[in-house]
A and B are shown apart, each in its own frame.
Chain A
Amino acid sequence: MKTKTPSKLEKILAAGHLAVTSECGPPRGSDIEVIKEKANLIKDYVDAINITDNQTSVTRMCSLAACIQLKLMGLEPVLQMVTRDRNRIALQSDILGAASFDIHNILCLSGDHQSFGDCPTGQNVHDIDSMQLIQTMRLMRDQAKFLGGDDIKRPPKMFVGAAANPFADPFEIRVPRLAKKIAAGVEFIQTQCIYNMEKFELWLKMAGDRGLLEKVYILAGVTPFKSAGMARYMKNRVPGIEVPDELVKRMADTPKEKQPEEGVKICIEQIQHLKEVEGVHGFHVMAIEWEEMVSEIVEKSGLYPRPSVE
C-alpha cells in the first residue's frame, strides 16, 4: 500500500506489519527528563509513542513540546490533540508547529471534560469537534489549505488517527461512528483498552461487513492489570471500559505478589489472540505508570524486534 506521509507508523502498517504503539504522559512541570526516561524504556519495543494532551483535563506540559523532545531523540511521536482547549486557529497553528519539527502522526480527540481535572472552573473551547479536526487535518495536508481558504506553505504531512471505543454507549452506533470518522478522513484508529474479546470481535465483524476494515488501520488497545484492585476499579469505575467477570476472578484468585505477573500474562494472551483476528493491524499498549512492562509484553507477544522501514 502506498503511503501518503513520511510517517514511520504509516510505513510499517502499509508494509503489512503489525504495528506497536504506546503512550507517555508528559510531566506536571517543565522537566523533560521524565519524558526522556519513559521514552528510553520503550523505544526499541514500539514503532511510535503517543504523547497525551492534558489527559483527564489535568494541566501538564503540552503534548507538542514533549513530541518535539521525542523527535530530537530520533523517535517517532504521535501528537495527541484534544479540541477541548484550543480553537480552530490554535489547532491549525499547533499542527504547523508540529509539522515544522516533522512530526508525522496526529491523534484527533475531543478530550475529557474539564470538570475532571485541576481547573474545573475553566472554560472549554470545542470550537470544532474531533471529527471536524480530522477533516481539518486532511484539508491542511492534502489540499495544503487553511480552514480560511488560504494556501499553506510547506503543508503538514501527518498520518491522521483517532480513537474508537467499541465498549462505549450506545453500541448500535459504534460502527456508524467508525464509518463517520473514516468518511471524515481518518487513516488509523487506536481503540480503548480491550478486555471483552467477544464484543470487540463483534464490532470488527460489523465494521468488516460494511467494508470499513479495508479503509482504516485498527490498532487494538491493551492495558495490563497491575492488581486485582485495578481490574475491579476499571470494571466498576471507569466508563467505557468493560472487564468480564472471569478476568477479575482470575486476578483475584492470584496471590497478591503474583498479581502483576498475572496481569501481564493476560495482556500477552490477549495480544496473541488478537494477532490472529482479521482487521487488527497492530496494538496500542497503554501501560499507565508501568512503562517498564512494555518491553516484556512486546517481547513475549512475539512482536520483538520491531521491523525497520525506509
Chain B
Amino acid sequence: MIVADRKPIEEIIEEVKDHEKILILGCNECVTVCEAGGKKEVGVLASALRMYFLNQGREVKIDEKTLERQCDHEYLEEIRDVMDQYDSVVSLACGVGVQFMAEKYHDCPIYPGVDTCFLGATEKRGLWTERCQACGQCILARTGGICPVSRCAKRILNGPCGGSTNGKCEINKELDCAWQLIIDRLKALGKIDEYEKLSPLKDWSTERAGGPRKVVREDVQE
C-alpha cells in the first residue's frame, strides 16, 4: 500500500492560516491503514486546528469528512454539493488524492496533510517499510522475491557492494542488506547458482525517468 506520514501540525497551520472555512478530508484506504490520514487522524487534526484558531481569537469553520478513496472520480463527486461551503481543503490522502482533488475542484485550494513516503507493507502496527519503487518491470522472479531496486540503497542489480557488513547496509546498521537477503533466499530455494547470472542493464524508461506513466487497458474501457 501507499505509506504516508502525518505532516507536522505547524506546517499545516502555515498552509491554512489565512482561510476561514476549511474541510479536513480523510481517506479510508492506505492512509487509514498506516494511521496517517483516516477518520481518526482527521478528527485529531480538526480538533487541534479548531483549538489553535480559537486561541488566536478567530472563529474558523473546520469540518471533517472521510471519503472511501480520493483517487476515483465517483468518491470525490460525493462532496460536490458541499464544496461551496469551504474556501480550502486539507486532504489527508496520499499525493494522488490531493492532486485528484485539485484537478476536480479547480477553484478551491487543496493542501496536503500528509507526506507520501513509499510503497510498503505493515511489518507490525506502527512500523511500515518500503518494498517497491514501481519501476514498471518487475524482476522479482530473478531475485528470490526480494527487490534490489527498492531495498538496495544503491539499487545495484549485481550486488552486494563492498559495504555490506554482517548482512546490514553500509548506510545504516539496522537496514538489511538487500543482497544478503537475496543470497539467503536463493540458497533456501536451492537456486544459489543463479547468483552468478549477470543481470542486464535496466531499462529505466518505465520508471520515473521516462516521464509520468500510464497504464491503458482498452479491453475494459468503454
Chain B residues with CB under 8 Å of A180's CB are: 158, 195-196, 198
Chain A residues with CB under 8 Å of B156's CB are: 110, 126, 129-130
B183 at the A interface (CB under 8 A): yes
A240 in contact with B198 (CB, 8 Å): no
Q: Mark A162-180, 1 if CB is under 8 A from B, else 0.
A: 0101001110110010011
CA distance A255 to B139 in the complex (A): 56
CA distance A136 to B200 in the complex (A): 11
Question: Helix, strand, loop or mixed for chain B's interface?
Answer: loop
CA distance A266 to B163 in the complex (A): 26
**CB of A196 to closest CB in B, whole Å:** 15
Chain B residues with CB under 8 Å of A88's CB are: 201
Q: Mark B136-163, 1 if CB is under 8 A from A, else 0.
A: 0000000000000000011111111111
By size class, the interface of chain A is: 20 to 34
CA distance A179 to B198 in the complex (A): 10
From B56-64, B123-131, B164-172, the one touching the partner chain is B164-172
**CB of B200 to closest CB in A, whole Å:** 8
A240 in contact with B165 (CB, 8 Å): yes
B52 at the A interface (CB under 8 A): no
A110 in contact with B161 (CB, 8 Å): yes
A240 in contact with B162 (CB, 8 Å): yes
**CB of A209 to closest CB in B, whole Å:** 15
B196 in contact with A113 (CB, 8 Å): no
- Which residues 143-171 of A sit at the B interface, judged by CB distance below 8 A? 147, 163, 165, 168-170
Chain B residues with CB under 8 Å of A173's CB are: 160, 183, 195
A170 in contact with B180 (CB, 8 Å): yes
With contacts A163-B162, A168-B165, A169-B180 taken as known, whether A124 is within 8 angstroms of B154 at the C-beta atoms is: yes
Chain B residues with CB under 8 Å of A124's CB are: 153-154
A127 at the B interface (CB under 8 A): yes
**CB of A95 to closest CB in B, whole Å:** 15
- Which residues 229-277 of A sit at the B interface, judged by CB distance below 8 A? 239-240
| Cross-interface CB contact of B198 among A110, A127, A183, cutoff 8 Å | A183
Chain B residues with CB under 8 Å of A183's CB are: 196, 198
CA distance A182 to B180 in the complex (A): 21
B195 in contact with A176 (CB, 8 Å): yes
B75 at the A interface (CB under 8 A): no
A132 in contact with B153 (CB, 8 Å): no
Q: Mark A115-138, 1 if CB is under 8 A from B, else 0.
A: 110000000101111111001100
A112 in contact with B201 (CB, 8 Å): no
A84 at the B interface (CB under 8 A): yes
CA distance A286 to B165 in the complex (A): 22
- Which residues 152-211 of B sit at the A interface, judged by CB distance below 8 A? 153-167, 170-171, 177, 180, 183, 195-196, 198-202, 204
Query: In the complex, what residue of chain B is closest to A127 when comparing beta carbons?
Result: B204
CA distance A165 to B200 in the complex (A): 23
Query: In the complex, what residue of chain B is closest to A135 when comparing beta carbons?
Result: B198
A192 at the B interface (CB under 8 A): yes
Chain A residues with CB under 8 Å of B196's CB are: 176, 179-180, 183
Chain A residues with CB under 8 Å of B160's CB are: 168-170, 173
- Which residues 82-110 of B sit at the A interface, judged by CB distance below 8 A? none
Chain A residues with CB under 8 Å of B199's CB are: 131-132
| Cross-interface CB contact of A170 among B161, B183, B202, cutoff 8 Å | B183
A293 at the B interface (CB under 8 A): no
**CB of A136 to closest CB in B, whole Å:** 8
Chain B residues with CB under 8 Å of A110's CB are: 154, 156, 161-162
Chain B residues with CB under 8 Å of A34's CB are: none
CA distance A147 to B200 in the complex (A): 12
A184 in contact with B163 (CB, 8 Å): no
B165 in contact with A129 (CB, 8 Å): no
CA distance A111 to B162 in the complex (A): 9
Chain B residues with CB under 8 Å of A132's CB are: 157-158, 198-201
5 contacts across the A-B interface (CB closer than 8 A): A110-B154, A112-B170, A115-B171, A170-B167, A239-B163
B interface residues (Cβ-Cβ under 8 A, vs A): 153-167, 170-171, 177, 180, 183, 195-196, 198-202, 204
Contacts A170-B164, A179-B196, A239-B163 given; 10 further ones with Cβ under 8 A?
A: A113-B170, A116-B170, A129-B154, A131-B199, A132-B157, A168-B162, A168-B165, A169-B180, A170-B183, A184-B198
- Return the 10 tightest CB-CB contacts between A and B, nearest first: A239-B165, A131-B158, A129-B156, A165-B162, A110-B161, A113-B171, A126-B154, A168-B162, A126-B155, A132-B201
